[in-house]
Amino acid sequence: MSYSRRHLLQGSLAGGAAGILSGLVKGQEGGGADTIRKKPRGIIFCVSDGMSQGVLSMTEAFSNQLRGKGTTWWELLAGGQAVLGLMDTASSSSMVTDSAAASSAWSSGKRVPNGQINFDANGRRLESIGETLEKKRVRLGLVSTASITHATPAGFASSVIQRGQEDLIAPQYLNRVDVILGGGSRFFDPKVRRDKKDLFGSFAREKYDVVRSRDGLLKSKSRKILGTFSPGYIPYTIDRDQDKEMQKMVPTLAEMSGAAVSRFLDDDAPFLLQIEGARIDHAAHKNDIGAILHEQMAFDDAVAKVLAMTKGHDDILVILTSDHGNANPGLNGTGAGYRQTNDHFAKIAQIKGSAEFFLQRWNQTQSKSAAKLNQLMEATYGFKPSPQELEALMDRCAGKKVTEWSHQLSNPVGLLGQIVGNVTGVGWTGICHTSDPTQLTSIGPGAGEFSGLVRNDSIRERLLGLLLG
Ligand SMILES: [Zn+2]
């Protein structure tokens, strides 16, 4: 995919807001003010959940290294046709938002306390953007690698006082959301739901094609679809890539996104589609550099698919953003004159499994020994830890105290992240969400609405203004 490079940005990403905003002005010139101000028929809102700035830049380098090509998001930043901005993230209860409050801010237009979905600080129910659009006959789609009833998709189409009430979120999608693709079958399955309600049956009766496998998804042609491909989250891409069976059963985010977009390109109805790469956030919580870069590449593949499918359609706006940063991974220069940095970074390509997979394997290991842990480290990460690192990891995994001055990193994943960081050069600030503004990149009619520093609770008004205005 090639975007115009006539207006290459002067400011680098590392230059922060000044660089980004100088790119914005160029972007507006490059895209043409008329196109940018036109109203779109449909909006595709793509969320890389928990993506700190470093993830975007490291994925660009990682993709070049691994696949000999850069990422689509980076190309949009450099190409001059996209409008660039920053998302001002926060919730009503904290400078640091969770996904529930962030998606609620986008959807309801109000900042709410963390943990709540479209319910304000006084316990008042707020209307989600999906509920508003349903009344105006605007079609809605949700795609996610989390359970599809998880906070970010749920924020667009439901209202619940606690984000964990996924049993209550699922029925709210019926006839409000036409395209529902992701994990989380357990919230629809009568065998697993606490109230034993058969939601798969309810959706099927309302003319949804209910699919449970990758094959089923790729074959389905129905306008309305409910596809769930795992009981909970969709497996990490790095683990899926090592498992042939999983690859057969579980679609990629790009495949789910393609299936969703095709259903909105088939007719002329207005629509809003949210696509979430959810597990970037999960990998950040686990300080897992291998998983996060593979996950962000999979998200980028989905973005590439969306842009390829909508190419030539001048009535579709595509927005890329994140709801909040998470653990702020960053590549530190290593060696004299930082000359070892590239070699260290290149070691990430050897990693063959997520930290979650690694720790599961270790927990299942009978008769644990330093030699066995060493073996497992080498098989998963491609390097052997030092004897001191090995001893500390053994102790930490066994629940013993290990000296660690950062409270956030005082746990097995924090320690594992630091040991891997000693080899790759990547460090983490903690294991939690962060307060930084996130990227906001928009291309297509109406993109001009999303320039500069944009508060998360102003997104609803901007989206509705374009779709209904
Ligand atoms: Zn999170």
Q: Where are the domains of the chain?
A: 20-329+432-468, 351-427
- Single-letter code of the amino acid located at 305: K
SS (H, E, C) 144-165: EEEECCCHHHHHHHCCECCCCC
Task: Output the CA 141–ligand 1 centroid distance in Å.
Answer: 22
Task: Output the CA 95–ligand 1 centroid distance in Å.
Answer: 14
**In this predicted structure, what is the pLDDT of residue 30?**
43
More confident residue, 395 or 8: 395
CA distance 443 to 441: 7
The token duo for 281 is 């956030």
**In this predicted structure, what is the pLDDT of residue 10?**
29
Q: What is the tens place of the pLDDT at every residue in 346-374?
A: 999 999 999 999 999 999 999 999 999 99
**In this predicted structure, what is the pLDDT of residue 14?**
34
Task: Output the CA 101–ligand 1 centroid distance in Å.
Answer: 11
**In this predicted structure, what is the pLDDT of residue 31?**
52
CB 201 within 8 A of CB 207: no
Average of per-residue pLDDT values in the chain: 93
Task: Output the CA 325–ligand 1 centroid distance in Å.
Answer: 9
The token duo for 263 is 């259903």
pLDDT at 126 over 90: yes
- Single-letter code of the amino acid located at 102: A
Task: Output the CA 7–ligand 1 centroid distance in Å.
Answer: 35
* Count of positions (residues) in the chain: 469
Task: Output the CA 234–ligand 1 centroid distance in Å.
Answer: 15
Task: Output the CA 128–ligand 1 centroid distance in Å.
Answer: 21
Contacts 24+ apart (CB under 8 A), 217-222: 217/181, 217/251, 217/255, 217/256, 217/259, 218/251, 218/255, 218/259, 220/259
Task: Output the CA 1–ligand 1 centroid distance in Å.
Answer: 31
Task: Output the CA 99–ligand 1 centroid distance in Å.
Answer: 7
Kindly indicate the confidence band of residue 311, based on its pLDDT and cuts at 50, 70 and 90. Answer: very high
Right CATH number for 20-329+432-468 from 3.40.720.10, 3.30.70.20, 3.30.470.20, 3.40.50.620?
Answer: 3.40.720.10
Task: Output the CA 104–ligand 1 centroid distance in Å.
Answer: 15
Residues 6+ apart with CB under 8 A from 208: 180, 222, 224, 225, 226
Task: Output the CA 283–ligand 1 centroid distance in Å.
Answer: 9
Nearest alpha carbon to residue 115 among 79, 168, 151 = 151
Task: Output the CA 100–ligand 1 centroid distance in Å.
Answer: 10
Task: Output the CA 434–ligand 1 centroid distance in Å.
Answer: 10
Task: Output the CA 358–ligand 1 centroid distance in Å.
Answer: 20
Q: Helix 412-424 and helix 387-397: axis angle, to 10°? A: 160
The token duo for 288 is 């897992």
Task: Output the CA 59–ligand 1 centroid distance in Å.
Answer: 19
Positive or negative: CA dihedral 51, 176, 469, 113: negative
DSSP H or E stretch at residue 295: helix 289-310
Task: Output the CA 373–ligand 1 centroid distance in Å.
Answer: 28
Task: Output the CA 142–ligand 1 centroid distance in Å.
Answer: 19
Positive or negative: CA dihedral 117, 122, 125, 128: negative
Task: Output the CA 138–ligand 1 centroid distance in Å.
Answer: 30
Kindly indicate the confidence band of residue 33, based on its pLDDT and cuts at 50, 70 and 90. Answer: low
| Cα-only R_g, the chain | 22
Kindly indicate the confidence band of residue 32, based on its pLDDT and cuts at 50, 70 and 90. Answer: low
Residues forming a β-bridge with 46: 275, 320
Task: Output the CA 76–ligand 1 centroid distance in Å.
Answer: 26
Task: Output the CA 284–ligand 1 centroid distance in Å.
Answer: 8
Task: Output the CA 89–ligand 1 centroid distance in Å.
Answer: 13
Strand order across the beta sheet in which 179-183 lies:
209-211, 225-228, 179-183, 139-147, 271-277, 42-48, 316-321, 438-443, 83-88, 452-455
Percent residues over pLDDT 90 in the chain: 91
Task: Output the CA 91–ligand 1 centroid distance in Å.
Answer: 14
Task: Output the CA 2–ligand 1 centroid distance in Å.
Answer: 33
Task: Output the CA 185–ligand 1 centroid distance in Å.
Answer: 21
**In this predicted structure, what is the pLDDT of residue 2?**
36
Task: Output the CA 327–ligand 1 centroid distance in Å.
Answer: 10
The token duo for 177 is 């959301």
Q: What is the tens place of the pLDDT at every residue in 8-23?
A: 322 333 333 333 333 3
Task: Output the CA 191–ligand 1 centroid distance in Å.
Answer: 28
**In this predicted structure, what is the pLDDT of residue 80?**
87
DSSP reduced 3-state for 466: helix
Task: Output the CA 332–ligand 1 centroid distance in Å.
Answer: 24
Kindly indicate the confidence band of residue 38, based on its pLDDT and cuts at 50, 70 and 90. Answer: confident
What mean pLDDT do residues 230-258 have?
97
What mean pLDDT do residues 419-446 have?
98
Task: Output the CA 311–ligand 1 centroid distance in Å.
Answer: 32
DSSP reduced 3-state for 139: strand
Task: Output the CA 98–ligand 1 centroid distance in Å.
Answer: 6
